Amino acid sequence: MSLENYLKQLISQRHADSLYRSCKTHEGAQQPVLRHNQRNYLAFCSNDYLGLASDPRLQQAFGDSMQHFGIGSGAAHLVAGHTTAHQQLEQALAEFTGRERALLFSTGYMANVGTITALMGRQDAIFADRLNHASLVDGALLSRAQVRRYAHNDMEALERLLTQSKATHKLIVSDGVFSMDGDVAPLPELVALAEKYDAWLMIDDAHGFGVLGEKGQGIEAHFQLPVGSVPILVGTLGKAFGTFGAFVAGSEILIEALIQTARSYIYTTALPPSLAATTCAALKIAQTETWRREQLQNLIQHFRAGAATLNIPLLPSDTPIQGVLLGNAAHALQASQLLAERGLLVTAIRPPTVPQHTARLRITFSALHEISHVDQLLAGLSEVLPLVRKKSR
């Protein structure tokens, strides 16, 4: 078969399965109202939980630091790409997480792939939640370690796998807040099992940082666990902090080892320095402006109470990620399209991002949303969901 024909077949199969994906191009900054095709939409799709992606103070900081540092970093960290801005951000992240050190990566995907492959090899075993983010899955596969997946948040299943394992090193890996479900990993149990079975623990708190805990310190603070309970802690900067990039926080020796061995740290260009400087400013705002987390809680409670009275099938979640479970990919896609016709942007999440038969609408809130926005969303959902369900009969 020619390449051309193979690709045509691949694309048409995606269409047939309601799994075809495409970008929605919008014309301005990330904010609750997005402009797309000459029309305004109220959007519930971004991970800009604190509403910092278009904050004027951060725009100012970005401009100022760009005047000083120029645009690109020009090289990898270990070559000539590491500036005082990167250094200051790594220090700020170490302080923020209460760790000895933090290491910047260019993206969360790269932080996860680089960290897992640096730590694990053929003789080792990785214990992973079934709903972990794709970057954790890919890191595990690339490491060539044995991968054992346990049912979502099922600590008994995890313990059974740990009991059976004879691997040299064991690594338990989990999302902190699950990116497509919004529920939180049972961290106290994970910490206890890691200790009991002499396993290492890695948590990817991409959606917890900035959102959970009084000052946004993430999942450890959420459970009031001692700072440092998670030895390998990953965070991203493109979500609640509103900028771009990611980090791993941990002990001095962990970070030293990653610098020596994490290939996605070594063999790639460092973040633009002005982004690092801007993220330092974002980190301060994220910690001090507690009203942003309070507003998120107001929105979440209002939405869940409204959805309950309207019989909207929500997944269990107390975070700004709220899922409406529809099951069938075509239904999720159709619901998303019908909402768009009503000026509401909500993403349909389909396999392979989520398991088969669990397609859903993924709603996310930002601190810049207002209660009236949530009311518009609820009205839209209550109109659209019966139409989708009717068609399925």
Report the C-alpha gap between 159 and 241 in whole angstroms: 35
Considering beta carbons, is residue 349 or 368 the nearer one to ligand PLP?
Answer: 349
| 108 is an interface residue for ligand PLP by CB under 6 A | yes
From 108-116, 118-126, 160-168, 249-257, give the range in contact with ligand PLP by CB under 6 A. Answer: 108-116
| CB 243 to ligand PLP: min, Å | 10
Choosing from 83, 97, 174, 236, the residue that interacts with ligand PLP (CB under 6 A) is: 236
| 238 is an interface residue for ligand PLP by CB under 6 A | yes
- Per residue in 241-278, is it b (16+ CB within 10 Å) or e — as a string? bbbbbbbbbbeeebbeebeeebebbbebebbbbbbbbb
239 is catalytic: yes
46 is catalytic: no
Query: In the chain, at which residue ranges do the beta strands (DSSP E only) sit?
Result: 33-36, 39-43, 101-105, 125-129, 146-150, 170-175, 200-204, 232-236, 246-250, 321-327, 344-345, 347-349, 359-364
| 279 is an interface residue for ligand PLP by CB under 6 A | no
391 is catalytic: no
Choosing from 73, 83, 107, 295, the residue that interacts with ligand PLP (CB under 6 A) is: 107
Q: DSSP code of 184? A: B
From 34-42, 63-71, 202-210, 352-360, give the range in contact with ligand PLP by CB under 6 A. Answer: 202-210
| CB 107 to ligand PLP: min, Å | 3
Report the C-alpha gap between 284 and 218 in whole angstroms: 15
The answer to whether 112 and 106 have CB atoms below 8 angstroms apart is no
| 233 is an interface residue for ligand PLP by CB under 6 A | no
| CB 44 to ligand PLP: min, Å | 16
| CB 318 to ligand PLP: min, Å | 17
Report the C-alpha gap between 209 and 235 in whole angstroms: 7
| 264 is an interface residue for ligand PLP by CB under 6 A | no
Which two three-digit tokens encode residue 301? 């409670």
**Residues belonging to the chain:** 393
Which two three-digit tokens encode residue 371? 């209660």
Residue 20, Cβ density class (10 Å: 0-12 exposed, 13-18 middle, ≥19 buried): middle
Taking residue 56's Cβ as centre, other Cβ atoms within 10 Å add up to 7
Query: x-or-dash pattern for ligand PLP, window 172-191, by CB under 6 A?
Result: ---x---x------------
Considering beta carbons, is residue 275 or 280 the nearer one to ligand PLP?
Answer: 275
Active-site residue (options: 222, 239, 331, 373): 239
Considering beta carbons, is residue 206 or 348 the nearer one to ligand PLP?
Answer: 206
Residues catalogued as catalytic: 179, 207, 239
Q: Provide the binding-site residues for ligand PLP, judged by CB under 6 A.
A: 107-109, 112, 133, 135, 175, 179, 204, 206-207, 236, 238, 246
